[in-house]
Amino acid sequence: MACTASTLLFTAPRQVELRETPLSPPGPGQVQVETLCSAISPGSEMLVYRGQCPPIADEHDSLSSGLVYPAAYGYACVGRVTTLGRQVNREWKNRLVFAFQPHTSRFNAAPQALLPIPGNLSAESAAFLPNMETAVNLAQDAAPLLGERVLVLGQGVVGLLLTALLREFPLETLLTVEAWPARRAASLALGVSASLDATSPGLEAALRTWLPSGADLTCEVSGAPQALNTALHHTTFSGRIVIGSWYGEKRAELDLGGSFHRSRIRLIASQVSTLNPELSARWDKSRRFGVAWNAIARVQPEKWITHRFPLSQAAEAYRLLDQHPNDCLQILLEHPPCTD
C-alpha cells in the first residue's frame, strides 16, 4: 500500500519545513527504508540553508544545476529496510543500511544504492560515513610522510576526523587551528601537538614558534576562504596545501605575491566525489568505503554528537547551527517510527 514520507525542504534562505509527500510501494527491484537518524552537515548544508550555494559542475551532486527552492538536501541517512520488492533478495529484510539521501522519514531505493552497515557499528556512528570518507580522501590526497610537520586549519567534524587519521601517522608535529574552544578541546583530546586559537591576535607568532620552517603539509578544512592565506604563509618551500573546504559563493583575496611565486607550494583541490587519478588503478569507491568503516570503528566519532533533534524540530536545529556554531559539533536528526 502507498504511504507518506515526511521530507525536509529548504524553502528559502534560512527557512526549512517538513512536507508530507506520498510514497508508493517499492518497485520490483527496490526496497523501502525507514529512517532512524540523519546527520546535518555543518559545511555544505549551511551553504544551502543560507542561500550561498552556487551551481556545481558535477552530475553526481543533487545541486548540480544550482540551488532552486524548494530543495531537498542532505546525504547522511541511516535506516532499516522494511519492505522488499518482489525481485529483491530476502537477505535485505530488516538490514541496517546507510544512504546518501536527503532528510526524510522513509524512501525507496535500489539495493545497490545502499551500503550495509557493519555489525559492530551503531546507527549514530554510521551517520558519520560521508564525513569519514571525506577525511579518508583528504588523507590520501595529502599523503603524509614519516616525520613531516603538519598543520590542519579547522576542527569541525571533518577537521577532527582528518586529525584523528593523521594522528595515526608517525609525524614530527601535528598542529591544529580552530576558533571555537570546544573544538580545540576535542582536538587536544586526540593527542595533537597543540591546538591554537584562530581568533587570537598572537596566532601568527604562535604558528612561527611551532613551525619555524613552515609546515610540510597544510590541510585547509575550516570553510573560511581567508584561512588560505594562513596556509600560504605557514607552508614551507615545496610544501603541499590540500584544500578540502567548499566555500560556496564566499570569496577572499589571496596573497599570491611576494614569496609565493618562488615557493613551489602545491595547491591541491580535494573533493570526495572522485578518486585521486594516481590511485584509481588500485582503488575504487568500495575499497575506500571499507577503509572509512574501519576508521569509524577506531575513532568512534559519536562522542562528537552534541545535539539530537527530532525531525519535527529540524528548523530549530538549523537555527542553532547557524547562529551558535560554537555550541555545536555534530547535530543528528532523529526520526520517529512511521505509523502508517
Eight-state DSSP code of residue 293? H
Q: Which residues pair with 307 in a beta bridge?
A: 331
Model-level pTM?
0.92
Residue 303: left (phi > 0), alpha (psi -120 to 50), or beta?
Answer: alpha
pLDDT at 185: 97
Asked whether the beta carbons of 235 and 220 are under 8 A apart, the reply is no
Amino acid at site 181: P
Ordered mean pLDDT values, 10 residues apiece, the chain (340 residues): 89 94 95 97 89 59 62 95 96 97 96 97 97 97 98 97 98 97 97 98 97 98 93 96 87 83 91 90 96 98 97 96 93 85
d(CA 90, CA 263): 59
pLDDT at 54: 65
Sign of dihedral through CA atoms 44, 132, 112, 59?
positive
Asked whether the beta carbons of 218 and 207 are under 8 A apart, the reply is no
d(CA 186, CA 195): 9
pLDDT at 340: 67
All domains in the chain, ordered by first residue: 3-127+300-334 (3.90.180.10), 131-269 (3.40.50.720)
At CA 114, angle to CA 25 and CA 157, rounded to 5? 125
d(CA 292, CA 24): 33
Amino acid at site 122: S
The Cα-based distances of 236 to 142, 149, 222 in angstroms read 15, 10, 20
d(CA 136, CA 153): 16
C-alpha cell at 190: 586526540
Amino acid at site 157: V
Sign of dihedral through CA atoms 327, 157, 40, 293?
negative
